[in-house]
Amino acid sequence: MVVRLNLCPFSSSVIARNQVRYAVCDAESDTQQKQFFLNELQRLLGTNEHDIATSLLMFTQGLEEFEDFLSVLDWFQWLLEQVELTEHVQLASFHPQYLFEGVAADDLSHFTNRSPYPTIHLLRQDQMSKALAHVSNPEQIYLDNIKALKKLGRQRVEAICPWGK
């Protein structure tokens, strides 16, 4: 949905250049999921950005509940802070039940971060900075995405993103 609707203006170029790593974690245990994250983080940082620009970590088991997903996401973010990698890696999160805090549960804005599986996107901070340097108002991207979803309407959005109903 993100690519199809161009919700992320930076995604199509790395996809076209085959620079996205898609990593699937079937592990259910917290320990195995954390190890998976560590392995993929090391892979991203140890690989030339022209080979792997960004990584999508998809969790097929154990994080179906949004609150469980948020707990694991918090741990991933905490780890990045502890090892002082926040200047190098940024996390974006997606989940079939994604809900922004303080936003009505039926608001279409939640669909901007909904995905078929709980997913953590590892983004290289330097690439994001370069990409955003060409955007006059980066904060507007999110607002434009919400506007685009509202223009499509609930029925069409849910047809494109049936896992997010």
In terms of residue numbers, what domain contains 112?
11-125+135-157
In a domain, 6, yes or no: no
H or E element at residue 93: strand 89-94
- Please report whether residue 74 resides in a domain: yes
Please report whether residue 36 resides in a domain. Answer: yes
The overall longest dimension of the chain from CA atoms, in Å, is: 44
Per-residue model confidence as pLDDT tens for the chain (165 residues): 666 666 776 777 788 889 999 999 999 999 999 999 999 999 999 999 999 999 999 999 999 999 999 999 999 999 999 999 999 999 999 999 999 999 999 999 999 899 999 999 999 988 887 777 777 787 888 888 888 899 999 999 999 888 877
Cα separation, 3 vs 64, whole angstroms: 23
| Cα gap 44→147, rounded to integer Å | 33
Is residue 158 a contact partner of residue 164, using CB atoms and an 8 Å limit? yes
| 4 occurs within a structural domain | no
